[in-house]
Amino acid sequence: MTIDVVIPARNEASTVGEVVAAARACRFAREVIVVDDGSTDGTADRALAAGAKVVRRETGSGSKAQAMEAGVAATDADAILFCDADCVGLTGAHLEDICRPYLEGRAAMSVGWFDYGMLNPLVRRLPPTSGERIVPRWVWDSVHPEKRTGYSIEIMINEVIAEGRLPTTVRVMAGVSHRTKRHKLGLKRGYRETWRMFWYLIGLPVRGVVRWRTCWFYLRELTVED
Ligand SMILES: Nc1nc2c(ncn2[C@@H]2O[C@H](COP(=O)(O)OP(=O)(O)O)[C@@H](O)[C@H]2O)c(=O)[nH]1
Ligand SMILES: [Mg+2]
């Protein structure tokens, strides 16, 4: 069983080195692949210096989902551990905790949630939008190409798992957060973009892009780990 780490990154120079180091410290991971779409802040250099293999997309109009796709195409691993490049406080131990339920056959998908403190008991049961998750590569391949877009790629991975009635485990990555859109874009634009993303995601079942039953199937097969 081989596991490679795929890290989509656009302009994440301040955190990508720390994230690559965490991924390399995960004893279950073979290779760490960072996919960069025309970053202008030295993200690729930081990733290389931290020991990642860097895949550069030169389209200038990428998306996170397309970066993930390029990362999966660059590996023949049996399973992919996806990880965002803007995590803060992430360690190899967090990633090992995510991998374990998958490796032990308890989960087809294992996900790490950011640490929201008192909100954790509530958050852990929502359909996860986290970028930190392991899935077998067939799950990625089963996401319809038209659905590999925008903010919703994680929801579309959830859909493959839920509609297959497959078990998911989630756990909180203690002490881990990320640089939010407010940090990256400033308060005003950051809040606007966060709300835009939130409404888009809420709208998926409302507009029938994702069926309500999918959420139910997801919850039925969900195990929350401490
Ligand atoms: N290569 C690449 N990475 C991207 C792109 N858009 C987002 N990302 C990365 O995907 C991860 C999650 O994106 P982010 O903007 O943090 O989304 P949020 O966590 O929902 O606010 C981060 O590591 C981003 O750098 C893109 O167009 N290309
Ligand atoms: Mg983020």
35 lines ligand 1 (CB under 6 A): yes
> In this predicted structure, what is the pLDDT of residue 60?
65
- Ligand 1, atom 24, lies closest to the CA of 9
pTM higher than 0.85 for the full model?
Answer: yes
86 lines ligand 1 (CB under 6 A): yes
CATH numbers and ranges of domains, the chain = 3-225 (3.90.550.10)
- 174-177 contacts at long range (C-beta below 8 A, 24 or more positions apart): 174/94, 174/115, 175/89, 175/115, 176/87, 176/88, 176/89, 176/90, 176/94, 176/112, 176/114, 176/115, 177/87, 177/88, 177/89, 177/114, 177/115
pLDDT tens track of the chain, all 226 residues? 999 999 999 999 999 999 999 999 999 999 999 999 989 999 999 999 999 999 998 776 789 999 999 999 999 999 999 999 999 999 999 999 999 999 999 999 999 999 999 999 999 999 999 999 999 999 999 999 988 887 789 999 999 999 999 999 999 999 999 999 899 999 999 999 999 988 888 888 888 889 999 999 999 999 999 8
> In this predicted structure, what is the pLDDT of residue 149?
81
- In this structure, are residues 78 and 141 in contact, taking their beta carbons and an 8 Å threshold? no
Please give the number of the atom of ligand 1 that sits closest to the Cα of 193.
Answer: 21
87 lines ligand 1 (CB under 6 A): no
